[in-house]
Structure 1
Amino acid sequence: IDGKTSVAAMDINYSVIPVRPAGAAWSSVRDMLKYISMELAEGKLPDGTQYIRRETLLARRAPQVPIGKEATYGMGLMVDTKYGTPVVHHGGDMIGFHSDMMWLPEYDVGAVVLTNGNPGWVLRTVFRRKLLEVLFDGRDEADADVASQAKSYYAQLAADRRLLSVPADPAQAAKLARHFHNDALGDIDVRREGGSTVFDFGEFRSEVATRNNPDGSLSFITIAPGIEGFEFVVSDAAGKRLTIRDAQHEYVFIGS
């Protein structure tokens, strides 16, 4: 939350297990480039062996769902024609990890970007543009884009930090029930550790900060590296109800 590099816990990343193969393999740039070489060779290995049937391989790039005017989604691959030549790509995101692989079938060129920090999505997003600039002597926009997005990222981080009380307001934390339950999301145990307030969710845990909101409400917000930003709004003065929301749902935790 202070913009300093910190080691994030891996615990929450294991929640991806039910949707594997997403997030199920560790790799390296070198190994991913070998995979891209196979894609560019339309299914052949370096020794000429046909590893995957060409027709099957290429069928994965066939458009199934439009993504705006210049991109489509096939079977686990996106094809972007924004700059005139097809760029096949797909990335992935987990806490602390952001990646992308891309290749230009018409030019026999591919690239991989793997990052191990949460702001890595900034670099990943612009990397494709940078690759095309280098290949085709394009306008130098990518470097400035990275700098601008990084500046905005850290400015927003600082603005959010100014609104937080760390450690959490002890008077407000003392009002909380020691245990909360929601039928859909499970349990939260509230613990005091030294001067800090910790929400323990079972699979992972985080210190929380407090924030006074413009509407007069109070929020407890997770601040552990990698899982910062889960906001629980105190729903009653007695501290027996906490509400967390996403874009479409509202979940109320009942205290006991």
Structure 2
Amino acid sequence: MAATLAIFALAVAGPAAQAADPASGTPMDARIHALEPELEAYVAAGMKAFDTPGLAIGIVSGDSLVYARGFGVRSKAKGGTVGTRTVFQIGSTTKAFLAATLAIAVDRGKLHWDDRIVDLDPEFQLKDAWVTREFRVFDLMAQRSGLPPYANDWLGILGQDEASLIRSLRNVEPASSFRSTFAYTNITHLLAGRIVARGENAADWSAVLRQDLLEPLGMAETSTTAEAIEAAPDHAQGHRWAPDGTVEVPFTPLFPYAFGAAGEMNSTIEDMARWLRLQLRDGSFDGQKIVSPESMAVTRIARVGINDKAFYAMGWVGLSTPNGRIIWHNGGTPSFGAYVGFAPEKDVGVVILTNEANVGFPDAVGAWVLDRLLDNPRVDHVAAALDVAKTRFAASAKLFMKPENPQPALPLAPLAGNYVEPSFGKAVLRQDGDGAVLELQDGGAVLQLEPWDGSVFTIRQKPVGRFAAIVENSDPSPAGFVQFQIDMDGTKPLLRLTIENQAFTFRRE
């Protein structure tokens, strides 16, 4: 989900937090210190290329935060130096925390990895009855559900609540057979969070997270709401990305926080270093066992292949490199990006936090650092990521370019009225000039339909109600298409909404 750019002065925060003496420590500590000049030059150049306002990085070796530093500014508009205690949204790197809370619940006998979801939550239902019966705890985070990528995420973006999002999965047509294909989803993690909270008799997953991980690890500056990050004295402001510059955007309580355990966390380099130490010590922190090594290992087991070198586990991606494996995950919200990765056999890990939508920059820096520390072949990951980001941006813009000779817009007055779709619920279509507006009753979002080609219209979200600040500061390009299909007598029109390659059919009541 997205971000933008302009020239700014690069500021470096004060001395590294908790940094080890270069003259002491392990051989890996020495390698990290030797890498510092090249690393800082690489980060500075990458920030300029991506117009990233601020970045913070921490490298953990063994049980110590050996290198930690902030670069740039917290906000383009207000400035403020980024430091190692600056709070950022961390997006989907939250998922590994969810996996750890599942592991702790298994250690306590509250859950079992192979428990059927229907036994834990009888309301759970997918389109396929057999898959519904066979879906297990270890499937919730394995990204192999058979659902299409990002299934029904837009319902959350458009304001539907957690219960509605989980319930909506029963209406989604499978895109592949169960457990056969990698396809990234978020809503299954909402269900996992709800199941953990029930098992631990907690109010919600956030409460479990705080009790089972944040407090034992001393992650006092980590939180799970928009209000909490805004209240933090030292917090970064988010920025969306486009090839011509980043643009600052406000926090909203809706995204990513509506996605709960799939991506609701805010954190700092110093707090995330504690999380990396837990990972490198296979579930122990400062001599205290928080997760058993056996359960921690389960969260890293390959569940589905991504390509010939990578697999997805549970909140983690496993990657084979020439000189050892890397376990990692990235995070992206509309205006922040994150990367967390570690090499278990080398006992080293890195975390990158940025206040720019993740279009590949934090992932590239993280991969570059670990390649250097593992003596892998040199690859300019930042340059490659920038090329991909620009190509994707151009492809998206091209998708919505109007045809050279569009057909006249279909008259919408006869099609106005009440519509319904199983996942979106009820909606009202009203004519609005040459186009129309589609008012979604569940969640309150309003979509603007603008003529594109005959019966096809583009859609944009209107800046109304609680969505005003989000929409006014989001990517101005359309979000998708609507096409009307009309029966012979015109009494039962269909409105087919396509967004992020997923189609929803609204029928007029």
Question: Normalising TM by the smaller chain, what interval?
Answer: 0.7 to 0.9
| Structure that is richer in strand per residue | 1
- Structure that is richer in helix per residue: 2
Checking the alignment, whether the CA contact within 8 Å between 2:359 and 2:389 is kept in structure 1 is no
Q: Which amino acid aligns with 1:112?
A: V
Deviations 1:130-185 (A, max 9, x none): 22343337424212212212321332344345439xxxx99856555143222343
Q: Please name the residue that 1:255 is paired with.
A: 508
Question: How far off its partner does 1:15 sit?
Answer: 5.3
Is 1:5 matched with 2:247?
yes
Distance 2:249 2:433 in 1: 21
Following the alignment from structure 2 to structure 1, what is the Cα–Cα distance between the partners of residues 389 and 422? 39
**SS of residue in 2 equivalent to 1:99:** strand
Contact 2:318 2:326 in 1 (8 A): yes
In the aligned structure 2, how far is the partner of 1:183 from the partner of 1:6? 36
- Which residue of 2 is the match for residue 16 of structure 1? 259
Q: Equivalent residue for 1:234?
A: 484
Question: Which 4+ stretches in 1 moved above 6 angstroms?
Answer: 192-196, 246-249
* 5+ residue gaps, structure 1: none
Equivalent residues of 1:92, 1:100 under 8 A apart: yes
Instruction: Give the match's secondary structure for 1:86.
Output: strand
Equivalences for residues 137-216 of structure 1 within 5 A:
138-160=377-399, 162-163=401-402, 172=411, 174=413, 176-190=415-429, 197-201=436-440, 202-213=442-453, 216=454
Gaps of 5+ in 2: 5-241, 462-470
* Native 8 Å contact 1:12 1:204 kept in 2: no
How far is 1:92 from its partner?
4.1
Q: Decide which of 312, 320, 327 is 1:73's aligned counterpart.
A: 312
Cα-Cα RMSD: 4.0
Instruction: Provide the rounded CA distance (Å) in 2 between the counterparts of 1:34 and 1:184.
Output: 40
Per-residue deviation, 1:245 = 4.3
What secondary structure, in the 3-state scheme, does the structure 2 residue paired with 1:219 have? strand
1:222 is aligned to 2:465: no
Instruction: From 272, 278, 283, give the equivalent of 1:43.
Output: 283
Change (3 A) 1:192 1:26: farther
Relative to structure 1, is the Cα distance of residues 212 and 161 closer, same or farther in structure 2, using a 3 angstrom cutoff?
closer
- Residues 156, 51 of structure 1: CA spacing in aligned structure 2 closer, same or farther, 3 A cutoff? same
Pairwise CA distance, 1:234: 1.8
Partners of 1:84 and 1:183 in 2: CA distance: 50
Residue 121 of structure 1 aligns to a residue in which SS?
coil
Instruction: Identify if the C-alpha distance between structure 1 residues 142 and 76 changes in structure 2 by more than 3 Å, giving closer, same or farther.
Output: closer
Give the Cα–Cα distance (whole angstroms) in 1 for the partners of residues 304 and 410 of structure 2: 52
Which gives a bigger RCO, structure 1 or 2 (Cα 8 Å, sep 6+)? 2
Please tell me the residue identity of whatever aligns with 2:247.
Answer: T
Q: How many residues align?
A: 245
Q: What amino acid maps onto 1:252 in structure 2?
A: T
Secondary structure in 2 matching 1:52 = coil
Question: How far is 1:85 from its partner?
Answer: 0.9
After TM superposition, give the deviation of residue 23 of structure 1 in Å: 2.4
Match of 2:294 among 33, 48, 55: 55
TM-score (normalised: structure 2): 0.40
Alpha-carbon distance in structure 1 between the residues aligned to 2:410 and 2:484: 13
Provide the rounded CA distance (Å) in 2 between the counterparts of 1:193 and 1:212. 15
